[in-house]
Amino acid sequence: MLKKCIGDPLLILPTESVRIKDNLSYEEIPVQILDHQVRRLRTKDVASVKVLWRNQFVEEATWEAEEDIKKRYPYLFESRGNVD
C-alpha cells in the first residue's frame, strides 16, 4: 500500500541553478576545500582533502585524494597558499 509522502522543502534544489544535460546528468563542481588530512599506511602516506561540492550541503562533503583534486581543480589550492 502506498503512503503519503511529505517532502522536506529544504532538500529541493531550484532546477534553473542545476545545468542538466540531455542525457539527464550534470557535473558536480567543487566549491571549497574544508579540511586536509594525511593518513599513514604501512608503506606510504596518503594525503586527502575534504571537498565541498556545488549543490551539496556541508554534511555531504566527501574525502578525495589530494593529488587527484589538484590535477583536476588547481584553482581550489591557490587561495590556501603553502600550508605544509
**Cα(83)–Cα(24) distance, integer angstroms:** 39
Answer whether 80's CB lies under 8 Å from 69's CB.
no
The pLDDT tens digits of the residues spanning 6-39 come to 778 887 766 666 677 778 887 888 999 999 999 9
> What pLDDT sits at residue 32?
92
Under DSSP, the state recorded for 15 is G
More confident residue, 53 or 55: 53
Arithmetic mean of pLDDT over the chain:
84
Taken in order of first residue, the domains within the chain and their CATH numbers are: 24-78 (2.40.50.40)
> What pLDDT sits at residue 42?
94
